[in-house]
């Protein structure tokens, strides 16, 4: 019994020390360096804006959700050249979403790509990227709503030629649906405004999340073949595409950035089943890209090494202390007070700091995430580690596309883009337009829909 108690106490104490150092450094570096995402050299009255291609892969998407997504893209305030490529990835419900496609048939900014069969999100993205030619590429999930100024603010960040990718801030559009969606919304805030914000201080965001991530075309051209042909243990890897592409960008020497005022609202799982399946996919993709990321650390700031250690060693220590404490309770009948009190204290400190930084008392309720993490997510991550070769999406079903549609169709490719602007820069325009962030009331217009993919 003494061995179990000692193991639990030692592990949780080490976890507390590591977590304190890591989270303190993270909170320090997560503080915004400037008050604006607009580079100083864009303060001039006129600028040449790059052309932007927006890629929206869809698979059996709910028509209302897709309609909300495309409407937010149509209302972007970006004054440069903008093209939207909607890629239907062999959906079985094409007849249902066809009316949504029809809404934009006379809008020269929109093109619809109908793939012959379901090939997965990564290949659907690549099909659109190779069918387009804009200077910048914005990947948007089909269940995501962008604030009107998202494209403009991301383009400002991409003005630096050393930046290969940039992501916006994610919020849960269905936050008020269940207790779980509320927790996930807070989890997203912490992931964006603590983890990504601190990494961005050193130009090394480790994962530009799928719902809203912009890439430089010239960088994509260098990396697209590697991105498309990712294998793990001899099998094609068809999830975790955003993390892998981000790591490839960093490996190629580009910076990856976070733009906190580019707000994107995405639908999150409202029940534990889809949430855990989502977390299992993310855990597998994180483990798969860990070794690739480790090779980058010698070239990056020392904080990034601490970040990797904190994110990987921290959960291991927490799991070890929890297992030893549970064994101490079940076998010896003694209550592991030190372990329990330490974990509770660390939880309340973290939630209190988040509440102060976000200026919202609701973050005190994020303490409910701790038992979910200990009793569900940590065992799930262990399972993910032992099943890394499994590439099952766990939530996707292959569509049965009618035989008459077994062909690749591109409706209006590069519509509205003249020879002068295709592959070049947009027209000369005034800079500096701005809109307030997407309101929570507007973002909750898609509440009630069950989704299992959001931020990979």
CA–CA separation, 238 and 119 (whole Å):
9
Q: What is the CATH number of the domain that holds 99?
A: 3.90.550.10
pLDDT of amino acid 341: 96
CA–CA separation, 450 and 127 (whole Å):
27
Residues 218 and 259 in one domain: yes
Does 95 map to a domain?
A: yes
pLDDT of amino acid 238: 64
CB 141 within 8 A of CB 210: yes
Does 447 map to a domain?
A: no
Against a cut of 0.75, is the pTM above it?
yes
CA–CA separation, 318 and 315 (whole Å):
5
Domain hosting residue 229, numbered range: 50-270+399-416
CA–CA separation, 123 and 28 (whole Å):
39
Residues 75 and 201 in one domain: yes
CA–CA separation, 449 and 266 (whole Å):
11
**DSSP string of 29-75, one letter each residue:** HTS-SSS-SS-GGG-SSEEEEEPEEEEEEESS--HHHHHHHHHHHHT
CB atoms within 10 A of CB 251: 15
End-to-end Cα distance, the chain: 41
Task: Indicate the number of domains in the chain.
Answer: 2
Does 211 map to a domain?
A: yes
Residues 62 and 21 in one domain: no
Does 363 map to a domain?
A: yes
pLDDT of amino acid 300: 86
Residues 334 and 372 in one domain: yes
Residues 80 and 104 in one domain: yes
Does 145 map to a domain?
A: yes
pLDDT of amino acid 392: 62
Does 410 map to a domain?
A: yes
Residues 166 and 85 in one domain: yes
Nearest Cα neighbor of 447 from 56, 63, 32, 65 is: 65
Does 349 map to a domain?
A: yes
Residues 332 and 252 in one domain: no
Residues 229 and 355 in one domain: no
CB-based contacts of 407: which residues, under 8 Å, 6+ apart? Answer: 114, 116
Residues 232 and 129 in one domain: yes
Residues 212 and 313 in one domain: no
Residues 256 and 321 in one domain: no
Task: Report residue 348 as tokens.
Answer: 């309340």
Does 18 map to a domain?
A: yes
pLDDT of amino acid 40: 45
Residues 100 and 216 in one domain: yes
Query: How would you write the pLDDT of the chain (456 residues) with one tens digit per residue?
Result: 589 999 999 999 999 999 999 999 999 999 876 544 454 444 443 568 999 999 999 999 999 999 999 999 999 999 999 999 999 999 999 999 999 999 998 999 999 999 989 988 989 999 999 989 999 999 999 999 999 999 999 999 999 999 999 999 999 999 999 999 999 999 999 999 999 999 999 999 999 998 999 999 999 999 998 888 876 666 656 667 899 999 999 999 999 999 999 999 999 999 999 999 999 989 988 888 877 788 888 888 899 999 999 999 999 999 999 999 999 999 888 999 999 999 999 999 999 999 999 999 999 999 999 999 999 999 999 999 888 877 665 554 444 434 444 345 555 544 444 333 333 333 223 233 333 334 333 333 333 334 444 444
């Amino acid at each position: 019994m003494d061995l179990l108690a000692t193991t639990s106490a030692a592990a949780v104490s080490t976890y507390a020390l590591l977590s304190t150092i890591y989270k303190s450094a993270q909170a320090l570096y997560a503080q915004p360096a400037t008050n604006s995402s607009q580079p100083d050299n864009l303060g001039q009255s006129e600028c040449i804006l790059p052309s932007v291609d927006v890629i929206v892969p869809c698979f059996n998407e709910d028509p209302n959700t897709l309609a909300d997504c495309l409407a937010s893209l149509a209302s972007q305030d970006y004054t440069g050249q903008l093209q939207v490529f909607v890629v239907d990835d062999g959906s079985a419900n094409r007849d249902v979403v066809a009316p949504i496609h029809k809404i934009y048939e006379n809008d020269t900014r929109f093109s619809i790509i109908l793939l012959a069969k379901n090939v997965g999100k990564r290949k659907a993205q690549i099909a659109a990227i190779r069918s387009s030619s804009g200077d910048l590429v914005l990947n948007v999930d089909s269940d995501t709503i962008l604030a009107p100024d998202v494209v403009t603010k991301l383009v400002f960040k991409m003005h630096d030629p050393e930046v290969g990718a940039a992501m916006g801030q994610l919020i849960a559009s269905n936050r008020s649906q269940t207790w779980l969606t509320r927790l996930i919304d807070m989890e997203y805030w912490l992931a964006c405004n603590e983890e990504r914000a601190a990494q961005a201080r050193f130009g090394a965001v480790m994962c530009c999340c799928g719902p809203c991530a912009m890439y430089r075309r010239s960088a994509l051209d260098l990396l697209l073949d590697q991105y498309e042909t990712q294998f793990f243990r001899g099998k094609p890897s068809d999830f975790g595409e955003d993390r892998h592409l981000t790591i490839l960008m960093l490996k190629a020497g580009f910076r990856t950035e976070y733009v906190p005022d580019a707000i994107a609202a995405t639908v999150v799982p409202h029940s534990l089943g889809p949430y855990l399946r989502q977390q299992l996919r993310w855990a597998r993709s994180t483990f798969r890209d860990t070794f690739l990321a480790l090779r980058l650390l010698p070239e990056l700031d020392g904080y990034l090494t601490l970040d990797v250690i904190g994110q990987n060693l921290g959960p291991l220590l927490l799991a070890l202390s929890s297992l030893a404490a549970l064994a101490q309770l079940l076998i010896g009948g003694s209550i592991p007070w030190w372990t329990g009190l330490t974990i509770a204290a660390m939880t309340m400190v973290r939630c209190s700091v988040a509440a102060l930084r976000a200026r919202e008392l609701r973050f005190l309720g994020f303490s409910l995430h701790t038992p979910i993490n200990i009793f569900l997510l940590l065992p799930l991550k262990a399972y993910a580690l032992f099943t890394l070769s499994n590439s099952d999406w766990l939530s996707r079903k292959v569509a049965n596309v009618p035989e008459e549609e077994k062909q690749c169709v591109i409706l209006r490719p590069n519509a509205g883009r003249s020879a002068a602007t295709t592959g070049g820069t947009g027209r000369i325009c005034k800079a500096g337009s701005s809109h307030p962030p997407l309101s929570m009331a507007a973002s909750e217009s898609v509440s009630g829909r069950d989704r299992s993919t959001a931020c990979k």
